[in-house]
Amino acid sequence: MTQYPLNFFGDSFTAGEELMDWKYVENYPTYMNFWDWEKLSKRDRPSLEHLDQKNLSLLRMEERKQSYAGLLGGVNHGISGCSMQTMARLVIEHLESTNKKCIVFIQPTSIDRWCEHVNNQWMDFNSGHRPTDQTKDYYKFRIANSTISSNLILWYNCVLTLVAYVGSHKNTADWWLINNGTFNEIESMMEHKETSNEMIKNSMAKFKEKTINFPQVDDMEYPYFCIGGHVNIEAHKKLAERIKKKLQ
């Protein structure tokens, strides 16, 4: 397929969240199309509290192997709940610590996540985050002083800078963006006066040339969705095939 190693960076979709839950949960819910999933009043992933740490670790390992990154034999750097800033930091750390060329895949996450250095450590936050006593003051300040537009610009600046960095790096043999639906949300924002932005529109149009969609992005009627909002192994297999074709 390619002589270069494949490195995949992303959030829970790349990490393979929910892919193997059916193996550990009795009467696992049937998969749904996007519209049926969106109608659910409760979208919680079935509890895995019955699993001990050993079995939870095995589950995580299985998920990574069965994700599109694992199916392609790549290195899966996906972290559930991570922000674009965390993703950028991981990409930079990888490219600056190797002397070998590789192909980089980036699966951008949603705009409501961000990373901050709090209490001497990097932490990912989102709009639904439950702050601890140590992060409560910071979190209140951040939420009170952010808007959809400001979150969008911060996300865009991070993605644009990261793409430019990866595309020009000496250790990048090639690069691709993986769209799990985030880009569709951004495009929808461009249709509204409050969030429309010409520079973002122009960049999104250019990104399309290097973007590979998860299959649920193109077919919302097909039952790819797990109850927790991620997609099943069929979706990951189809995405892996799409990536293979791009790399041929």
Q: What is the CATH number of the domain that holds 55?
A: 3.40.50.1110
Where the chain has pLDDT below 50, the residues are: none
In a domain, 220, yes or no: yes
For the chain, the helix, strand and coil percentages under 3-state DSSP, each to the nearest 5: 45, 15, 40
pLDDT at residue 1 in the model:
64
Query: Sign of torsion, CA 73 75 79 84?
Result: negative
pLDDT at residue 220 in the model:
97
Q: By the 8 A CB rule, do 147 and 181 touch?
A: no
In a domain, 51, yes or no: yes
CA 14/CA 92 separation, integer angstroms: 18
In a domain, 1, yes or no: no
In a domain, 186, yes or no: yes
pLDDT at residue 118 in the model:
84
Domains of the chain: total: 1
Show the domain range for 170. Answer: 6-247
pLDDT at residue 148 in the model:
94
pLDDT at residue 186 in the model:
96
**pLDDT tens digit sequence for 74-106:** 999 999 999 999 999 999 999 999 999 999 999
**H or E segment and range at residue 7:** strand 6-9
